[in-house]
Structure 1
Amino acid sequence: MAISVDIKRQNRETVPAAFERVVALLEDVEATLAHFPSLRSFEPLGDSVYHWRLAPLGPVTHKTRIDFATRFSIDKVAGVVEFKPVPKIGNASIGGRIEIKAKAASHSDIAINVAGKVEVPVSWLLKAVATPIVMREFNGLVDGFVANLKNNYL
């Protein structure tokens, strides 16, 4: 049995980097997403499409792989990075948007919005607890990504 779990996460941070620097760094999609926690591989498929494969997530006895593909577009002037789900690749469909806004000459606000669905195989006994576990794990990944960018990249 598999269930579909809706995921949604929003995060906003101020980083000690000028708008131009943040946009330039995020423009290098592969280097930026290398900071995503639990990322096992990130394979370019062409035409700004990337296939993500995450290390199995969840409790030790019920680890689940998550993989999906997204198409990236970047608007450097507006400071927007969008990623849209690519259908029929993997067990998840995830998209979102990263918005960068200049806060001061040397600081920027970064807002990350991510939403999608993850198909998770579970027994009927675990159906009720699977959704909050998947949501918690995914929220931790997004928060970890922002922290890694802030601490190691900017």
Structure 2
Amino acid sequence: MSFTTFVELNKTFEVAWSPEQVFELLSDVPKSVAHFPKVDKLVDLGENTYRWEMEKIGVQAYNIQTIYACKYLAYPGMKTVKWEPVKGVGNGVVSGSWKLEESDSGGTKVKFHTKGSLEIDLPFFLKAVVSPIVASEFEKLVDTYHKNLIETMSS
């Protein structure tokens, strides 16, 4: 038996780099993902589509590995990068976007939005305990990702 858990995040932060520099980094998926923690493998499926394979989390008999694929679409004129789910790959479905705009300080305001679902192959009675843990872990990973990006784009 399994269950599905859902997550949605909206985050905004500012960096010193220009919108063009930020766009160049975020639209290069492997370079951007290099800042994301606990990625076991990023597999290039061609046509700017990538499969994410995260490190397993959990203990002994109860562990979860998140796998999903997204197609990335970069719009330089709009300074936007979007990702759309590739259905039928792994146990997750993820979509989202980066939206960039020049900040008042001369750097870039970075707006991040993502939402996703994860099919978890554990007994249903664990849903009330596991779902909040999965959501919290995902948010921590995204916060670390953003911290790493901010550090890179602050120089």
Query: TM tier, shorter chain?
Result: over 0.9
How many Å apart are 1:153 and its aligned residue? Answer: 4.6
Question: Greater shift after overlay, 123-132 or 74-83?
Answer: 123-132
CA RMSD of aligned residues (A): 1.4
Q: Which residue of 2 aligns with 1:60?
A: 59
Conserved? CA contact 2:96–2:112, under 8 Å: yes
Q: Which residue of 1 aligns with 2:133?
A: 133
Q: Which residue of 2 aligns with 1:10?
A: 10
Report the Cα distance in structure 2 between the residues aligned to 1:64 and 1:25, rounded to whole angstroms.
30
Report the Cα distance in structure 1 between the residues aligned to 2:37 and 2:100, rounded to whole angstroms.
21
- Partner SS state of residue 77, structure 1: helix
Runs of 4+ in 1 over 2 A off after TM superposition: 59-63
**TM-score scaled by structure 1?**
0.93
User: Is there any run of 5+ residues in structure 2 with no aligned partner, and where?
Assistant: none
**TM-score scaled by structure 2?**
0.92
How many Å apart are 1:16 and its aligned residue? Answer: 1.2
Letter in 1 for 2:100: I
Conserved? CA contact 1:85–1:93, under 8 Å: yes
Percent of pairs identical after alignment?
26
Conserved? CA contact 2:17–2:153, under 8 Å: no
1:103-154 CA distance string (max 9 Å, x none): 1464101111010100112224422111101111111111111111111355
Q: Which residue of 1 aligns with 2:28?
A: 28
Conserved? CA contact 1:69–1:86, under 8 Å: yes
Q: State yes or no: 1:100 paired with 2:110.
A: no
Report which of the two has the higher share of strand: 1
Report the Cα distance in structure 2 between the residues aligned to 1:27 and 1:112, rounded to whole angstroms.
13
Q: Which residue of 2 aligns with 1:75?
A: 75
Conserved? CA contact 2:51–2:67, under 8 Å: yes
Counting matched residue pairs gives 153
